[in-house]
Amino acid sequence: MQTKVIDLYEYFAQSAPEGAVGRLSCYFTHTPAQVSQTRRKSGVLVLPGGGYHHTSHREHESVALKLLAAGYQAFVLEYSVAPLRYPVALREAAMAMRYIRENADAYGLTGRVAAMGFSAGGHLCGTLATLFDAPEVADIAPEHILRPDVLGLCYPVVVSHGRTHSGSFDNLCGQDTALRERLSLDKLVRPDMPPAFIWHTRSDESVPCRNSLLLAQALEEQGVDFSLRIYRKGSHGLSTADLLSYTPDTLPQISPDVPGWMDSMVQFFQEQGVGIMD
């Protein structure tokens, strides 16, 4: 495994807002010639959670390692959070997508790129997947560069109304109620967005599973392909839900099938043509 860290503002010669981060950690491997001289892999942009207050370390390297083991190249974005507001994080996610696609040969990529996000990072992932042609990112790259090919949404923050994680929208939108309403993902779903794999736990008290249920309903109404898993037991922020993210003493009580979410997501990605290509 090799790693590289890219300052996206520096790489694209973009002026960074005061306090902005925009740092992309790249995790990648090279296929030995004895295995294949032509094999290429898909890339996955990972957006950790943290309520738009911070980016969670639990959803960083452990997730990248699982993706590498599944045959992907992983790119984890540490994006800007409060007090910086929308669209700073979205622009950084767009820059990350452009970087991955433009450097496909250097990382041995197929050209197919997934995006996955956790909690508030799931919301950011959803905005990237629906606002790829928005004026806020039009100067970064054409829409076909910015639009992911498939999504993985892990206990995502989705709706800005009713029982949800209000703090994420407070940090993202401040007191702008119109923006808060606009950025409710159930309102942004569109027929030409990427297909999505979604998972949540029924007992999540921080981000109620109604977020994923309402998103799935909106996807169904718009004719967007999706797969939904609601596991019975598990707290918020499970990440890989195994000892890569927890110690034996801190691993929360979960339904026994929760750690299999990554395998289910990978299967969904591969069904969408996002996997290894020889």
Q: Evaluate if residue 31 carries a pLDDT over 90.
A: no
- Domains in the chain (CATH in brackets) are 2-271 (3.40.50.1820)
For the residues 111-116, what does the mean pLDDT come to? 97
For the residues 111-131, what does the mean pLDDT come to? 98
* Average pLDDT of every residue of the chain: 96
CB neighbours of 200 closer than 8 A, spacing ≥ 6?
155, 156, 207, 209, 211, 212, 213, 229, 230, 231
Q: What is the pLDDT of residue 116?
A: 98
Q: Evaluate if residue 30 carries a pLDDT over 90.
A: no
Q: Evaluate if residue 278 carries a pLDDT over 90.
A: no
Q: Evaluate if residue 37 carries a pLDDT over 90.
A: no
For the residues 252-259, what does the mean pLDDT come to? 94
Q: What is the pLDDT of residue 55?
A: 98
At 274, give phi and psi (nearest 5°).
-110, 95
Q: What is the pLDDT of residue 132?
A: 98
Q: How far apart are CA 94 and CA 96, in angstroms?
A: 5
- Tens digits of residue pLDDT in 195-211: 999 999 999 999 999 99
Q: What is the pLDDT of residue 32?
A: 83
Q: How far apart are CA 267 and CA 274, in angstroms?
A: 9
Q: Evaluate if residue 36 carries a pLDDT over 90.
A: no
- Tens digits of residue pLDDT in 53-84: 999 999 999 999 999 999 999 999 999 999 99
Q: What is the pTM of this model?
A: 0.97
For the residues 172-184, what does the mean pLDDT come to? 97
